A and B are shown apart, each in its own frame.
Chain A
Amino acid sequence: MSTLNRRVLPGFGLGLSTTILYLSLLVLLPLAACLWKAAELSPAEFWAAVWTPRAVAAYKLTFVASLLAALVNVVVGSIVGWTLVRYDFPFKRLIDALVDVPFALPTAVAGLVYASLYVSDGWLGQFLTPLGIQGAYSRFGIVLVLIFTGFPFVVRTIQPVLEDLDAETEEAAANLGADRWQTFTRVILPTIIPPALTGFTLAFARAIGEYGSVVFISSNKQFETEIAPMLIFARLEAYEYREAAAVASVLLGFSFLMLIFINVLERWSQRHEN
């Protein structure tokens, strides 16, 4: 098809060169600048910049908080996705539309409002304080806001798959004597695991990079509530460019790996469906 298209359809040269030019100028060149700057450090200095106890604590927090949030989102998102596809109830359309709010709402607003809600005398925080849970300005707050930002991912990956599920398959299983629970675990669950996994990875990747909302709700305590991007920012403010670039490179490396993983997962998911 490709050779046929290239002879018939114009614009391949123009389109591709525009694409590559723009990609290089806006994305690849700046990223290269970052790696270049980090490379100004000797290996020992680089290691010293990216592997301090404070940095390690920040990586751990970023990773664990994102993981927790993504896990919660898988469970909650699956239930919500299921309910939205399978059942009818008043205001269903509204609820369905609201699911997308975290995509559209600016991260700074999300962080700000969550902080104000969960502070000890906030609308919601006042219920947590007697339980001894500190809502805002704590790790709890960080995970909470990451759950918010990642919420739509799993819901939106599961919904189309559930909708496509054939009624006949379920009915056939029922006719063959399977009870509802068996039908669920043997027929339905295997179909939603791939999209749930994809949604989980997307939510996880998003949470790892999240800055705007976390910075409002975190107390930025070193070793406790300081996320990795904050480290970069602190270095930047102190004009330690090379060290900032070094930590940024570590994060970039991780993002790139996640990206590849997501793409592989998508392809596996597609094959699994067909």
Chain B
Amino acid sequence: MLYRLLFLLIVVYLISAAVWVVRAGIVRDGNPNDLLNVACDPTRELWRELNANFQEHREQRTGKRPSIRQSHGGSSSQARAVIDGLDGDVVTLAMFPDTDAIRKAGLIAPNWQAQLPNRSLPFVSTIVFVVRKENPKNIRDWCDLARPDIATITPNPKTSGNGKWSFLALWGAVTQRGGSDDDAIEYVRKVYSQTPVLDTSARASTMTFAQKKIGDVHLTWENEAHLEVQEAGGALEIVYPPISVLAEPHVAVVDRVVDRKGTRATAEAYLKYLYTEEAQEIIASHHYRPTNADVAARTAGLFPKIELFPITKLAKDWGEIQERFFAEGAIYDRISGSGVKR
């Protein structure tokens, strides 16, 4: 008798689980207030705070409290995931080509950059160095990375926004200071041959450098560097090189998804919210460089002076950058193929 009851309970449980799982696969036009933000890797802490504030903000305006879920990963990997069916309502990736790839796949309307102020850039950033306490190897500038005794940690340019920005920073560090293209190729070849681990995303690289204690210098986002140093409790420090690349992480609404799910209003409000003073202050507090001029002026103390060059100094536009550096068989493929055993 008892067994039969137990059996029945188990069957009921399994049937409900089955129903739940099967229904969970339905691509539903769910709640118009539920958003999925498909983001690049190191922005986890930023979005946590922004999301909580946006929920308050939105509830005050409309009386409804939106719910926002996050997915994080290497920027290019995330872009492909969206193209492959990951139902992001907004994408907040690390660089233009990733977001534009989603446009090319027909999921984002053309001219998306113009939909939001400042070419859809609520904040910008750059690539800086993180080194061990007291900088024992005395790493101050880009040329130091080519020294044979220096192991660099940076993610894989094929999967991570951080990875691509690091590459462009390395390249620009040579060409912006008078070096020729050949000098630059030799330089990046050297540096990548001294990169022991190429993680798939920014946070994974941080783990490799900070937790697994591999490498002498870590090339990462400015904000990630600050977080990393803070969490390390004194074991690491930031070094700002004199020059670096201006990293522009665009944000966009995924038109095809929001139109299907009916979340357009919430999604657009979400991205517009990022430009409010309140949001810009939060952004600055996480060490992302705000694009709102007033807030930028007020928080200038958080951001050391560094000469930032935009990618337009390296090539005509992103199309050329992709083709020259990151496409199949392009410069990165050529130099990394010569990865040698350490």
Contact = CB atoms under 8 A, between A and B. Distances in A.
In the complex they form, whether A and B have CB atoms below 8 Å apart is answered with: yes
A1 to B, nearest CB: 32
Interface of A: 53-54, 57, 120, 136-137, 219-224, 233-234, 237-239
Contacts of B158: 238
A219 B197 CA distance: 8
Contacts of A53: 339, 341
A219 B76 contact: no
Nearest to B77: A237
Contacts of A220: 197, 199, 208
B198 interface: yes
Interface of B: 73-74, 76-77, 80, 156, 158-159, 196-200, 208, 212-214, 339, 341-342
Nearest to A54: B339
B156 A137 contact: no
B342 A224 contact: yes
B212 A237 contact: no
Nearest to A137: B212
Given A137-B212, A222-B197, A238 B76 contact: yes
A223 to B, nearest CB: 5
Contacts of A221: 196-197, 214
Nearest to B195: A222
Given A219-B214, A221-B214, A223-B341, A234 B156 contact: yes
30 contacts: A53-B339, A54-B339, A120-B213, A136-B212, A137-B213, A137-B214, A219-B196, A219-B208, A219-B214, A220-B197, A222-B196, A222-B339, A223-B339, A223-B341, A223-B342, A224-B196, A224-B342, A234-B156, A234-B200, A237-B73, A237-B74, A237-B77, A237-B156, A237-B200, A238-B76, A238-B156, A238-B158, A238-B200, A239-B76, A239-B77
A224 B342 CA distance: 9
A201 B295 CA distance: 65
B21 to A, nearest CB: 15
Residue among A222, A223, A234, A238 with max Cβ neighbours from chain B (10 Å): A238
A219 B212 CA distance: 7
Contacts of A239: 76-77, 80
Residue among B80, B158, B197 with max Cβ neighbours from chain A (10 Å): B197
Residue among B76, B77, B200, B208 with max Cβ neighbours from chain A (10 Å): B200
